[in-house]
Amino acid sequence: MDTGADPPRYRRLRKASELRTAAAHPPPKRMCPSEEHDSCCEDKISSLPDEMLIMIINKLDARTAITTTILSKRWRDLPAHSHTCYDLGVDDILPPRYHKLKQMVVEAKAGYVAEKNALKLAGSHAFRDRFFAVNDWMWRVRRLTTHLQRYERWAMRRYVKRVNAFLLPPTNVQQRSIQKLRLQTFGTSNCIDQWITSAIGRWGVEDLELIIDNSSWRYDFRLLDECKNVRLKRLVLSNCYHHDAPNSLTFQRLTALTLCKEHISHVCYVLRNCVQLVDLSLKHSDYNQDPLHICVPKSKLKNLQLDNCNVGQVYLTSLPCLEAFACRGQPIELHYGEVPRLRHVSLNFLQTGDNGKDGSLCRLGKLFLGIPPPLEYLALQLRGGQMWIKPVAIRSQLNHLKKLFIANVAMNWGTFWILTLLAAAPALESLHVHFDSEKASAPGLLDVQAEHHQHHYHLKELMVVGFNAVAWQTGFVKRIMQASPILEHVHLLDGHVVEDEERELVGLEIVRSRREWHQCERLEVLDELTDGISSLHPKIVLE
């Protein structure tokens, strides 16, 4: 019968071993709620000595370290030894939703352009439908752009507070070491001038990257002429170039300069004023310009890079100290002049439908017009849906060329144009060729059967990347082996080629992928390559 009373509780008898353990380890003293709250809120880390706090900061990434030192008064004045490179980008604040919307805007703009082009070609019967389709795409772009701008305004409010706290602190804050600084922002803040002046003039930044997205900003570097703490050596500007910048003392002390989305015609003006400049890069210049003539006899420039610049002809008329030249984008004509120290050239050309000229072929010799440069290393990437190189003999002899690297050769291009290039390099010692098997199509047999009697008396090394042991590849390798009496190493491997991140456009890096060769297949390939070669067989490696 349930009376509603709680059942009796019986206390368990404790063992003797438990009593001994309890006596050896008494329970902790119970804290009152107020003491427990104070203990949880107490900042015990800040009570550590400076040396240990510095070690903790140096273990953090730059972004977390900046936030920590700004929010805590105890940590703010600590000298940071390791963190001298800082990356402050507004993209880090924007949510993932923003980047999805941005991609949708790009797609909407592409659809708008396509419908607009179709409207021009539409007949009278389809004009009405095309017209409403264009208006629909236009409305979609405007609506998405409005949402993007709302996100950007929200992010900029937070970004300005963060950068102001870092670059514009009170004067009593201990001087920190900032060697490299990257600022990526939108050009909607009036604080950009103060940030640049403080970073270069107050904190002594040596390497500065300033990227302005969605707009442009013109900072007058002459404002820094009176600053005594200027140590700037490398500068990257994107949408932030002032036409009077080369007249400033800050620009004239630079050794490395990168200009993005600026007029390519500024090159000579920059080189004449920036006498200490060693590295110059021009990227993504979309402006239609006349042929680019570079004639600066007093320049100390050693490295020049043109990355996707809309220019049809480049004249390296006079650059006495130039050692390396790299160019990427649409095919151009290259004219060499007084470049006695030019040893390294890297050309990466992509022929598309909109930059071709009625599908006509381009003579290989257009890449080596003028005075033959004393090249020792040449890297070529000539790409396109159809072969646009005309394998005509090159008049300029590359007598000093020691190493040739040809990458991303499409399967339908064949190899005869490569042999034509080899004929112009009698002193070649190393040849690397990469066949792009991902963009394979049926290659013609014309160049496999073509006669080629040129001998390579100095060639010692041959490497073929993307080797699949097909008949035309084997024939190409065998032809090189037969024409090279002192060839020592033949390396045939599978893989692909990527650009070296440290050397950017100048260097190429081979990414190997090992292929499992069957023993019978391996012997068949080796027998095919060595058959009919009377001289000493080189060492052949199959990977």
**Closest by alpha carbon to 177, among 207, 206, 210, 203?**
203
- Which of the four pLDDT bands, split at 50, 70 and 90, describes residue 141? confident
Instruction: Please classify residue 524 by burial: count the beta carbons closer than 10 Å to its beta carbon, then call 0-12 exposed, 13-18 middle and 19+ buried.
Output: middle
- The fraction of the chain above a pLDDT of 90, given in percent, is 33
Predicted confidence (pLDDT) at residue 191 exceeds the cutoff of 50: yes
Q: What is the per-residue pLDDT for 25?
A: 54
Q: Residue 14: which pLDDT band, with cuts at 50, 70 and 90?
A: low
The pLDDT assigned to 176 comes to 73
Q: What is the pLDDT of residues 60-114, one digit of tens each?
A: 766 677 666 666 767 766 655 456 888 899 998 999 998 888 888 888 877 777 7
**Is the model's pLDDT at 318 over the cut of 90?**
yes
List, for residues 108-133, the tens digit of each pLDDT value. Answer: 877 777 777 776 666 655 666 666 67
Write the Ramachandran bin of 216: left for phi over 0, alpha for psi from -120 to 50, otherwise beta: beta
Q: Which of the four pLDDT bands, split at 50, 70 and 90, describes residue 356? A: very low
DSSP of 458-501: T--EEEEES----HHHHHHHHHHHHT-TT--EEEEE-EEEEE-T
Predicted pLDDT at 37? 47
Q: Which residues have C-beta within 8 Å of that of residue 244, sequence separation ≥ 6?
A: 220, 221, 222
Output the pLDDT for position 18: 54
Average of per-residue pLDDT values in the chain:
81
- pLDDT given for residue 77 in this prediction: 66
Q: How far is CA 103 from CA 285, 364, 407, 445, in A?
A: 22, 39, 31, 43
Residues in a beta bridge with 334 = 314
Q: pLDDT at position 327, please? A: 93
Specify the range with the lowest mean pLDDT, choosing from 157-161, 359-363, 365-369, 402-406. Answer: 359-363
**Amino acid at position 209, single letter:** E
Task: Note if the pTM is more than 0.85.
Answer: no
Higher pLDDT: 285 or 203? It is 203
What is the per-residue pLDDT for 156? 93
Residue 336 gets the label, from left (phi > 0), alpha (psi -120 to 50) or beta, of beta
Provide the 3-class DSSP secondary structure of residue 215: coil
Domain locations in the chain? 47-81, 93-159, 344-543
Domain 344-543: assigned CATH number: 3.80.10
pLDDT digits (tens, 9 = 90+) for 150-177: 999 999 999 999 999 999 988 877 777 7
* Contact criterion met (CB below 8 Å) for 306 and 314: yes
Rounded average pLDDT over 427-443: 78
